Amino acid sequence: MNRTLKILLASVSLVVWMLATAGCPPSYPSCHGDDHCQSDGRSEVCVGGLCKQCRDDSNCNAANPCLECASDRTCQKKAKCCLSDVECPGEKCWKMDPDPTRPGECGDVCLHVQCPAGQKCSGGGCVPDRVCVDDAGCPPGHKCVNGQCDKADCELTTILFDYNEFAIRLDQEATLSANAECLKKRNAAHRVEGHCDERGDGEYNLALGQRRANAVRRQYRALGSDASQLSTISYGKERPICNEYGENCWDQNRRVETTQQ
């Protein structure tokens, strides 16, 4: 091949290359750059040699902040993202930013606002955690107040006994009465537990502890407590709360405790 022919072929190749890269764009959806994807009313971008809706989120959310660029390079709506209630069927669009152009989230108000104690999030707002008609509809240790279960605000106090006795002491009657009122407020199952000091044998003290528990249970019942919610047990001298020797310690161990089951 002579020199003239070589030059001619080289010139033809150059012209073909120039036409391919400048004058003759590839057929859609093929592309060499974004400008090849923005004709005939399209406003797409060139990604990997093909025209796509987006390269990243900025190509989508400029028009709608709830749109994002998905893995297939199409603009798709973010889950739960919203600008108005219309976009949240059955829910509300809760927005922390008052700017109407800023997105919110479909859901309950409690997603953004913590409900106060005793309430829960339901139907887009805070409602009582428990709804009740009477105390029977509340869990143990609670009472029904204005349709809501509130924790009973009371404490049960230890009742003390004289040595080798199971009769209620005069100075313990006020304590026992207060306990009975607390039991009625709690409206729950409780156990009345009898205890003794270390003196005497085990069998005798078990019997004495049981008499003490029975005496307290009878008095609770007389004061209006529900006897069906009260059981009794004796631990004798097996569970002292004071382990020192002497009357000050023994007096603490001769007792009846009322505990919620």
Which pLDDT score, from 0 to 100, does residue 79 have?
86
If you search the block for the tokens 């019997």, which residue do you land on? 207
- pLDDT interval class at 186 (50, 70, 90): confident
Write phi, then psi, for 213 (nearest 5 degrees).
-65, -40
Angle at 164 between CA 163 and CA 169, to 5 degrees: 60
The full set of domain ranges for the chain reads 27-78, 81-128, 159-260
pLDDT above 60 (res 99): yes
Note every long-range contact of 150-156, with CB atoms under 8 Å and residues 24 or more positions apart, other chains counting: 150/118, 152/182, 152/185, 152/186, 152/187, 153/185, 154/178, 154/181, 154/182, 154/185, 154/186, 155/182, 156/182, 156/183, 156/190, 156/257, 156/258, 156/259, 156/260
**Minimum mean pLDDT range among 10-19, 44-53, 134-143, 198-207:** 10-19
User: Which residues are bridge partners to 234 per DSSP?
Assistant: 194
Task: State the average pLDDT for the chain.
Answer: 82
Segment 81-109 shows an average pLDDT of 78
Write phi, then psi, for 165 (nearest 5 degrees).
-120, 155
Helix (H) or strand (E) holding 193: strand 190-195
The CATH architecture that domain 159-260 belongs to is 2-Layer Sandwich (3.30)
Handedness of CA 12, 17, 20, 22 (dihedral sign): negative
Write phi, then psi, for 116 (nearest 5 degrees).
-70, 165
Find out whether 250 and 160 touch, Cβ atoms under 8 Å: no
- pLDDT interval class at 146 (50, 70, 90): low
Query: Do strands 142-145 and 148-151 pair parallel, antiparallel, or not at all (unpaired)?
Result: antiparallel
